[in-house]
Structure 1
Amino acid sequence: MAWLILILSGVLEAVWASALAASRGFRRPGPVGLFAVSMVASMAGLAYAMTQLPTGTAYAVWVGIGATLTVAWAMITRQERASTARILLLLLLVACVAGLKAVS
C-alpha cells in the first residue's frame, strides 16, 4: 500500500509543479488552488510512505515520478522542446525509479 500511495503522491507532485507554473506567480486563482490542494496531498502521501519505506528510496522515487511527469507534460503541451536525448534521459530516470522499487 505504501508503494501505491508513493506513486500517487509522485503524480500529484507533477500536478502541483505544473499548476505552480500555470499560476503565473500566484496571480491566477484556479491554478493556485490546484497547487495548494495537490501539494498538501502529495506531501501527506510522501510522509505516509516514509513510515514504511526507507526515506532515501521514497524521496528518490517521489521526485523521479514527479520530475518525469512534469517534463513529459511540458513537452506534450509544447512548453518545452522534446528531443531524442531528453526522451531517452527521461526513460533512464524511469528505469532508475523502477530499479529502486525492485531492490527495496
Structure 2
Amino acid sequence: MYWFILLIAGILEAGWLVGIQKSESFSNIPYVFLAIVSMALSLLLFSISLKEIPVSHAYLVWLAVGVSTISVINHYFFDQPLSLQHILCFALIFVGIVGLKISS
C-alpha cells in the first residue's frame, strides 16, 4: 500500500511541475492552483509513504516517477521529443524500483 501511495506522490510531483510551467510566472491562476494543490498532495503522500519505506528508497522512487511522468506529459502535450533511448533509460529506472520493492 505504501509503495502505491509513493507512486501517486511521484505522479502528483509532475502535476505541480506542469502547473508551474503553464502558470506563466504565476499569472495564470488555475495553473498556480494546480501547482499548489499537486505539491501539497505530493508531499503529504510522500510523507505517509515514509512510515514503511526507507527515506533513501522513497526519495529515489519519488523523483524517478516524477521525472518519468513529466517526460511523458511533455511528450504528449507539449511536443517535446521522447526517443527510444529515453524510454529504455526510464525502463531501467523502473527495473531498479522493482528491485528496491522486492528487496524490502
What TM-score, normalized to structure 2? Answer: 0.91
Q: Secondary structure at the match of 1:51?
A: coil
Q: Secondary structure at the match of 2:98?
A: helix
Matched to 1:45, the amino acid is: L
Is the Cα–Cα contact under 8 Å of residues 65 and 97 in structure 1 kept in the other structure?
no
Paired with 1:91 and 1:24, the residues of 2 have a C-alpha distance of 32
Aligned counterparts of 1:35 and 1:69: Cα–Cα separation in 2: 15
State the match for 2:38 in structure 1.
38
RMSD of aligned residue pairs (Cα, Å)? 1.3
CA distances 1:40-61 after superposition (whole Å, capped 9, x unpaired): 0100111111122100011111
Supply the AA of the counterpart residue of 1:70: I
The CA distance in 2 between the partners of 1:7 and 1:66, in whole Å, is: 9
Amino acid at match of 2:36: A
Question: Cα offset for 1:80?
Answer: 1.5
Equivalent in the alignment of 2:72: 72
For structure 1, which runs of at least 5 residues remain unmatched after alignment?
none
Equivalent residues of 1:3, 1:49 under 8 A apart: yes
Partner Cα separation in structure 2 for residue 90 and residue 69 of structure 1: 10
* Number of residue-to-residue matches in the alignment: 104
The TM-score with structure 1 as length reference comes to 0.91
Q: Which residue of 1 aligns with 2:58?
A: 58
State, as a whole percentage, how many aligned pairs show the same letter.
30
Residue 26 of structure 1 corresponds to 26
**Structure 1 runs, 4 residues or longer, greater than 2 Å off:** none
| 1:33, distance to aligned residue in structure 2 (A) | 0.1
Asked if the contact 1:68/1:94 (under 8 Å) is kept, the reply is no
